């Protein structure tokens, strides 16, 4: 799987003014809703927050992988957001988070969901990729850094 297969440049937003976990998830759902016009924002947000209630998707090193399943979705969709300042996200290492790579997957493709998360985590484990992402000043630079 290539990142560019699931992440569209329109779903990439660099250095936002995120102030809380809730606000970042709301922003992710807004971006997704603009791309997935047939699925309302509240449904997307609910999917993401329900998953967070089971345990934080903050994987450490300033990274979170929020994700959710959607009934009316046909293909995996990713949203990438970086925040200007790291925020508290209840990450596994208790460090604040500044990179949020969210994925939304079709409800009936659970096995694909796990493979996608694994591929993204592997990509985000690359120190040079992370450095480029954190140095990005524009949405396009951020998209290029990850893809």
Active site members: 67
Buried b or exposed e, range 8-26, using 16+ CB within 10 angstroms: eeebbbbbbebeebeebbb
Beta bridge partners of 127: none
Q: In angstroms, how far is CA 43 from the centroid of its own chain?
A: 16
CB atoms within 10 A of CB 135: 10
- CA-based nearest residue to 72, from 102, 116, 104: 104
What is the C-alpha separation between 78 and 86, in angstroms, rounded?
20
What is the C-alpha separation between 93 and 99, in angstroms, rounded?
14
What is the C-alpha separation between 85 and 75, in angstroms, rounded?
31
């Amino acid at each position: 799987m290539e990142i560019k297969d699931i992440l569209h440049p329109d779903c990439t937003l660099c250095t936002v003014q995120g102030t809380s976990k809730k606000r970042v998830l709301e922003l992710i759902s807004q971006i997704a809703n603009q791309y997935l016009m047939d699925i309302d924002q509240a449904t997307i947000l609910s999917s993401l927050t329900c998953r967070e209630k089971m345990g934080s998707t903050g994987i450490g090193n300033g990274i979170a992988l929020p994700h959710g399943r959607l009934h009316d979705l046909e293909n995996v969709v990713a949203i990438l957001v970086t925040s200007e300042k790291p925020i508290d996200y209840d990450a596994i290492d208790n460090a604040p988070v500044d990179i949020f790579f969210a994925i939304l997957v079709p409800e009936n493709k659970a096995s694909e969901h796990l493979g996608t998360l694994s591929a993204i985590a592997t990509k985000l484990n690359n120190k040079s990729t992370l450095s480029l992402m954190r140095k990005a000043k524009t949405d396009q630079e951020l998209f290029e850094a990850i893809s």
